[in-house]
Amino acid sequence: MGKKKRRHDDREEDVYGHTAGAIGGLAMVMGVLFAIKDKTGLSWPATVILTVAVLVALGYAAWWVKSRVQRMWARTPPEASFSTALATQEAPPVEEEGPARDEELTKALVASRVIGKDEFVRADESVVTPLPHGLGTRYEFKVPAGRTYKDVAAKTEAVAGALDATRMRTQVERGELSARDVEMTVLAQPPFTAPFAPPTREMILAHDGIPFAHSMTGELVGMDDFTKGAIFVAGMTQTGKSTLTVALLTCAYIAYGTELDVYLIEGKPGALTRFEKVAVRYEASSKATAFDSMVRELLQIQQERYEMDMQAMRERKSTPRHRQILFIADEVADYYVSDGSAEAKKQKARLVKNSSELVRKGLECGITVVMMTQRPSDKAVPVEVRDQFKKRICLYVSGKGGAEVALGSDYFKTESPIHPALMDASIQGQGVYFDGVSSKLVRGIRFENDFIWQVVDDVAARREKHIEAAAPDTPLRQAINIMRARRVDFMPTAELAPALGITETDRTERGKLLAKLLGVPAGKGAKGARGYRLTDLTAAERSRS
């Protein structure tokens, strides 16, 4: 209670104090007004008005003086104000400029909707290089983070249009360092407008693999080696399939030398005849039986090699190194034709099964198959056979259906597909090379005949020396020498047997003894007589060397 009473007394004293102050202030004002009135002799209203006017004027004068002083202070030199600011606070941060843009690529990728309008290609992550001889331009760049090479590849045609080019003049490839790296080539003219010079022997040997074509910028294109995949080649007539095949064989013989065995079959004597001299077996026949015979012979070799590999595993030895075999069949559609009869259907089914197995399993034991056709239709070459090929080449075709048969039914869903119908049909050997992942526009190397014959003769001469040095006295070598000495291509059993020391007079027994001695079955000559062809004997000798 004491505290409450004390606070109440304090408040009363404050009221008395404020009241006394107000009375004192009022008395002072009244005194001032009386003094002014007395001095001026004015009435009371005039005295009050005069006093208020003077006070207002004094207030305005004080404001005017203060504003002038502030303006003078603001005119302080910049150095002084900057020094003062540094003394009192830190300077504000300076914004750094962003990376420079590659305006050309950014504009093209934005226009083609590869990247968004707020994204760009950095100038320090792009290199633009003119190609030699004015061929065009090469772009190497990184797409913005979050994008990959596939984004560019999927819209190659749109990007080409944004760069004022065409799809056929534009090639998009993945860079080597990351998925964001893109390598893009844009030609100044349509591809292969001018032919590229064929490579020399030294260039072929220096190539990492077996070349058979030029890229759109002139580099050699080929296979790493024949164990990487069988090849299916399709294109309309007179589009250059033979050009590709001849180039492949020529480069293969240069790369492998005498360590390559080649089996060739074509419907009639044609481009492959150039290599008959060095082929293990060459046939110019459109009969299914000839094709079936060659396939079955290769399947037998395949089986023997599998057994050798299995035996090496059982004995914990290294897998034997097999000689590379290349089997090339031209216009294979002819061999799968059936007349509808029960026997023909049975033969076709067997041929489809055997050839499909050879393509599928041959790679594992050194047998690579190359098939060609000028009829890329769904029924021409059975799908069971076509589906086994890992690598495809399609020359000019008139429609999408033919391209899908040649390159695969899902080809146009792959990265950056090239439609073969857009190619110039007048440029022979030009085609789309599809390795199962990406596409490339190529043109088969065009060798002069003199160069091809020189390669063939060189391989043949080296083989002869090797055979003579390795086995000069075998019955097979003796039979070959006898036929060459007599300058004949065929010798009946009745003549060859006595020349090799077989004196048996019974015709059947004499034939069995000679076949056993040579290790080669007899065949029929032009007049039906049984005997041996020089090409069969030399092929047998090469395959055993």
Distances (CA, A) of 226 to 324, 373, 390: 8, 20, 12
For 468-519, the pLDDT digits (tens) are: 665 557 888 888 888 877 778 788 888 898 888 888 888 888 888 898 888 8
pLDDT of residue 158: 95
Structure-derived torsion over alpha carbons of residues 189, 192, 194, 200, reported in degrees to the nearest 10: 140
For 335-358, the pLDDT digits (tens) are: 998 877 888 888 889 999 999 999
Question: In 225-335, where does DSSP find H-type helix?
Answer: 241-256, 288-314
pLDDT of residue 48: 65
Cα 497 from Cα 488, distance rounded (Å): 15
pTM metric for this prediction: 0.69
DSSP 413-433: GSSS---GGGS-TTSTTEEEE
- Lookup: tokens for 134: 């004015």
Give the CA count within 13 Å in the CB-facing half-sphere of 467.
Answer: 23
8 Å CB contact between 253 and 455: yes
Which residues carry a binding-site annotation? Answer: 235-242
8 Å CB contact between 295 and 358: yes
Which residues carry a binding-site annotation for ATP? Answer: 235-242
Coil vs helix vs strand at 408: coil
pLDDT of residue 369: 95
Q: What share of the chain in percent tops pLDDT 90?
A: 38
DSSP 212-275: EEEETTS-EEEES-GGG--EEEE--TTSSHHHHHHHHHHHHHHHHTTSEEEEEEESSS-GGGGG
Cα 122 from Cα 267, distance rounded (Å): 57
Quote the mean pLDDT of the chain. Answer: 83
- Facing residues of 523 across strands? 531
- CATH fold of 201-451 reads Rossmann fold (3.40.50)
| CATH architecture for the domain at 471-544 | Orthogonal Bundle (1.10)
8 Å CB contact between 234 and 240: no
Q: Report the chain's C-alpha Rg in angstroms.
A: 48
For 14-58, the pLDDT digits (tens) are: 545 555 555 555 556 565 656 666 666 667 666 666 666 666 666
Which of 465-481 are b and which e, b meaning 16 or more Cβ less than 10 Å from the residue's Cβ?
eebeeeeeebbbbbbbe
Coil vs helix vs strand at 91: coil
